[in-house]
Structure formats: C-alpha cells, structure tokens
C-alpha cells in the first residue's frame, strides 16, 4: 500500500532541533512525496526524511578455531604518548581554560584533544601540540 500525502497533513517525523520524533505539518509536496515540513513543537522548517528500510541482520559468523600461535600482546601506549610522558617528566597538566594564561612549555589537559604542550604563545592565542596535531586555542 502506498502512502498518500497532502499539504497541511499532520504526520510524525524526526526533528533535528527537538532531537526526537515529533508532530509535523506538511508544507509542500513534490511527486506525491512531502518535501518540506514544519515542526508543530519548535516551528522549525526542514526537509522530509523518508523512513529507512530495516537492515537485514547478518548471519552470525562461525567461531574461529584456536591456533597454536601466541595471543596478541596488549596494546601499548603510542609513540606520541611515550614521548609526551617522558618529556612531561612528572609535571602536572593543567585543565584547559581560556581564562588561564598559558605560557610556552606548559602542559594542558583539554577535554576534547587530550594531553598537549604549549608550543608558542602569541597575544591571546596559544599554539598547542596534541596527538591530532597543532591546534590554536584561546589564552588570557
């Protein structure tokens, strides 16, 4: 059975702003499919997203046979982490705050990037070396 839609019709659809499925009203239709919707909760206008077909469940894989080889060693810290730990030499990393005055050589613990070392301070910005690379952050 094919669903039929018309402008002004109410339907339940996911809303990005409300972060859930809410009641929407159809604003426009193209080729029998809703194009734009308006959320009745937050009044945001967005595209209609058709329901995705259910994924077919894959057959379970057969268990592997045990081999005589030795088990894999536990993952060791990366080379970056090893260098950072040895270079840090016992100094404590300060939690990142843009209100703190960061100086060259200071260590910081950023909530998103992790452990990093201030490479250069210029004005209200500090260049910090993290595992992902060099980032520019605010400093007092």
Average pLDDT, the chain: 79
- The neighbour count for residue 83, using CB atoms within 10 Å, is 11
Indicate whether this model's pTM tops 0.85.
no
> Does residue 2 form part of some domain?
no
Q: Assess whether 86 and 133 both reside in one domain.
A: yes
Residues of the domain holding 42? 10-47
What are 23's two structure tokens?
Answer: 């009641």
**What is the average per-residue pLDDT within 36-56?**
80
Q: What are phi and psi of 81, to 5 degrees?
A: -65, -40
Number of domains making up the chain: 2
Compute the chain's Rg from CA coordinates: 27
- The neighbour count for residue 137, using CB atoms within 10 Å, is 19
pLDDT digits (tens, 9 = 90+) for 109-137: 888 888 888 999 988 899 988 888 888 99
Q: What is the dihedral of CA 84, 135, 17, 49, to 10 degrees?
A: -90
**What is the average per-residue pLDDT within 22-48?**
88
> Does residue 69 form part of some domain?
no
């Amino acid at each position: 059975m094919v669903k039929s839609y018309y402008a002004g019709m109410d339907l339940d659809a996911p809303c990005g702003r409300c972060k859930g499925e809410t009641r929407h009203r159809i604003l426009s239709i193209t080729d029998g499919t809703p194009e734009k919707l308006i959320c009745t909760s937050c009044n945001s206008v967005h595209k209609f997203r058709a329901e995705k077909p259910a994924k077919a469940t894959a057959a379970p894989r057969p268990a592997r046979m045990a081999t005589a080889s030795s088990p894999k060693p536990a993952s060791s810290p990366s080379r970056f982490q090893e260098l950072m730990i040895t270079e840090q030499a016992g100094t404590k990393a300060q939690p990142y705050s843009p209100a703190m005055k960061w100086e060259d050589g200071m260590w910081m613990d950023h909530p998103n990037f992790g452990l990093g070392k201030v490479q250069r301070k210029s004005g209200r910005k500090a260049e910090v070396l993290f595992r992902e690379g060099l980032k520019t952050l605010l400093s007092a």
